[in-house]
Amino acid sequence: MKKGLFVKLMTVLFLSTFFLYGFSHLGVFAYETFFVKSLNLSKHAAVASINLGGANKEEAMKILDEKVEEWKQNQNLLLDFNGESAKIDVSLFQFHLEESIEKLADDENTSLIVTIDENAFDAFLSNHFADYKGENINLPSLREYVLSLAGSLHKEERVEIYDYAANNESPQVLNEAVSNELEVTPTIKSFIDNYPSIPIAPNSQFSFSDFLETEGFVVESQADLSPVASLLYQISLYSNFSIIERNISKLLPDYVTLGFEAKFNPMNNQDFVITNPNSTGYELKLAIQENRIKAQLQGIPFPNSYNVRLSEKETFPPRVIKQFSPFVEKGSVDIQQEGKDGILIRVYKQKLSSSGEILSEELINEDFYAPQHKIAVYPLQELQEAPRETFDNVLTGENGEESTNEESNDGEKDETSSMDDEGNESSLPEKESEDTADQDSSSPSDDGAKPKKKDIK
């Protein structure tokens, strides 16, 4: 082949290749430059609830860029963990505005496309939370939720990191409580036989009374279930559950330790109600062990541990109520009721870090049980033979008996009354009656705090 012909042939092939290559690329450039940029979006187009209707690509990107910058300046997305809080650093987010607009081709209302580096996010959590351990958290799920907030330009939110505990973490026995010895009534036995496990649903309120009604557990004396309610209350104190309603008795029952009673009697509108604020559910396990009830709380561990402190215990001595009767022999005393001190106890709940440091302390209740007064019956002769001048406020009954208030030898204030020949009290003042209503508050009354001597009328 001649050299000139070869050169011409190669020139034609080169020009043809250049034309085809250049046309394909220049055509795309021209399309994007003169057609796409001038293409207006649908009138319903929106990204992150920002209306872009009628705007072209350049205008849409400018609008989104301004909104993203405004969001970065005003956003308040907080992460909470173990009592600590940190605001999310906006530098962690990468916003892809162009891809977000192109996504509108398939959806006229979409969120912004945002990404975040997993390692950077994990490092942010480690730097701001001393107790944070990535292996205990479902980091992809947490990151996905945070990205959804940024993608919608959500400005205000608190995210509890512990809500994203690793799914592979198995339920554990978190704490347990055992009652004092008690009489296992048929109601208690039937209840525990039928409900050895009570579910506490996530993010919900639990009412013991509603649970019984829903389950159809009907007995004559639901008040017999007070020991179960007390154990549930005691276990709740060692958790992040909130106590909504709780009642106590007038006198501390023998089956429960001071500070941990929760009286239950739906007939008197006395319920026990708690709230589980966690995203996971829990189980209350019940069992009878000889003459005691054992309760366990099982589930995913709480982000913090909790401790209960019983403090500032106060006692209030009982009064002595003196009565006189002709049926009591001279020189003897019939004790009809032994006195018992009144008690005030304060219950504090402490939130602890993983290292055992006290993060906070909260006063939960002040439980007050009034004194039980001592009742002593003396011979009537002592009242009749006592010198008249030694008595104040002397009253004479129908049979000539006299009564008075006097200071006893041990310094306690006495209240006296006399009885007629038939053993009935005369017109002397009756002994102070007990309040039949149970307390629905653990705060002491003024009368209980400082007992007063009853005046004789």
Instruction: Pick the more confident residue, 451 or 116.
Output: 116
As a whole number, mean pLDDT of residues 2-26 equals 67
Find the Cα–Cα–Cα–Cα dihedral 125, 130, 133, 134, rounded to 10°: 10
pLDDT digits (tens, 9 = 90+) for 275-297: 998 778 899 999 999 899 999 99
Q: Which of 355, 351, 277 is nearest to 309 (CA)?
A: 351
Residue 255: pLDDT band (50, 70, 90) is: very high
Q: Report the distance separating Cα 225 and Cα 232, nearest Å.
A: 11
Q: What confidence score (pLDDT) does residue 384 get?
A: 62
Res 261: pLDDT = 94
pLDDT for 67-90, tens place per residue?
Answer: 999 999 999 999 988 778 899 999
Residues forming CATH 2.20.230.10 domain(s) in the chain: 304-457
Residue 123 has pLDDT above 70, yes or no: yes
Q: DSSP letter at 409?
A: T
Long-range CB contacts (< 8 A, 24+ apart) of 99-107? 100/47, 100/64, 101/41, 101/47, 101/52, 101/57, 101/60, 101/61, 101/64, 104/41, 104/42, 104/45, 104/47, 104/52
For the domain with range 304-457, which CATH number is right: 3.40.1030.10, 2.20.230.10, 1.20.1290.10, 3.30.70.890? 2.20.230.10
Query: Which pLDDT score, from 0 to 100, does residue 377 have?
Result: 86
For the chain, percent of residues with pLDDT exceeding 70: 73
**Token duo for residue 234:** 């005691």
Average pLDDT of the chain to the nearest whole number: 77
Choice between 383 and 447, residue whose per-residue pLDDT is larger: 383
Higher-confidence position of 311 and 408: 311
| Mean predicted confidence (pLDDT) in 210-238 | 91
pLDDT at 24: 61
